[in-house]
Structure 1
Amino acid sequence: MAKATLIIFLFLSHISVGILVLANEQKTWCVAKPSSNEKTLQENINYACSQVDCRILQKGCTCSSPDNLMNHASIAMNLYYQAKGRNHWNCHFGNSALVVLTDPSYGSCIYE
């Protein structure tokens, strides 16, 4: 009985690892929660852009429009999230961010 239990455990462990690998291979993005306030969004932009290159947000660049905090925060937070390895903890930002499975890119603004 113990041998059968061990075999079942190893089989289920193998399946679980496979599911985790598939989940980690799924492309994800980090965006600002719609309920976030402006102060938090600006703090998130400041922090993320102090860690990664946010030039795509500069006026005239591909992701500068629409020019609002929600849009810019989402782009900056995603740049940070992608650069840091797409770990869920890199998309926390004081609980003001969400990991999403749908590509938030729009027009010529391509989310990394």
Structure 2
Amino acid sequence: MVNGQKTWCVAKPSSDQAALLANINYACSQIDCRILQKGYPCFYPDNLMNHASISMNLYYQAKGRNRWNCDFRNSALIVTTDPSYSKCVYSYL
């Protein structure tokens, strides 16, 4: 935790599509990404940036919120503002 603040892991806006896809595949091979499937609240918007951020955050939270769990080859950022939207809640364990 950064100075007692809640933190989330999201994709860097500058990340390329290949990195985002690799991050989704890696994170979802380690943790349950069902929340991203069609019919679940985080499916929309259906784009790589959104899905990568959600899967990377799930991984980061599940692995203990260490900064090294939110590196993804330098394509991620740790943020202190909750990125949840609409009915899609970014988990905070």
Q: What range is the shorter-chain TM-score in?
A: over 0.9
Q: SS where residue 26 of structure 1 aligns?
A: coil
Aligned-residue offset at 1:22 = 7.0
In structure 1, the partner of 2:66 is 87
Q: Which runs of 4+ in 1 moved over 2 A?
A: none
Larger-Rg structure:
1
Q: Residue 26 of structure 1: CA displacement? A: 1.3
1:78 maps to a residue whose letter is N
Judging changes above 3 Å, is the alpha-carbon distance between structure 1 residues 22 and 90 closer, same or farther for their aligned structure 2 residues?
Answer: closer
2:39 corresponds, among 51, 60, 84, to: 60
1:16 is aligned to none
| Contiguous gaps of at least 5 residues in structure 1 | 1-20
Measured against aligned partners, the alpha-carbon deviations of 1:73-107 in whole angstroms (never above 9, x if no partner) come to: 00000000000000000000000000000000000
Deviations 1:36-92 (A, max 9, x none): 000000000000000000000000101000000000000000000000000000000
- SS of 1:77's partner is helix
Q: Report percent identity of matched pairs.
A: 73
Residue ranges of structure 2 left out of the alignment (5+ in a row): none
CA distance in 1, matches of 2:22, 2:51: 11
Q: Give, in whole Å, the separation in 2 of the partners of 1:28 and 1:92.
A: 14
Counterpart-to-counterpart distance in 2, 1:48 and 1:95:
15
What TM-score do you get using the length of structure 2 for normalisation?
0.95
Aligned counterparts of 2:2 and 2:59: Cα–Cα separation in 1:
22
1:5-26 per-residue CA deviation (whole Å, 9 max, x = no partner) reads xxxxxxxxxxxxxxxx871x31
More helix as a share of residues: 1
**Relative contact order (alpha carbons < 8 A, sep ≥ 6): 1 or 2 greater?**
2
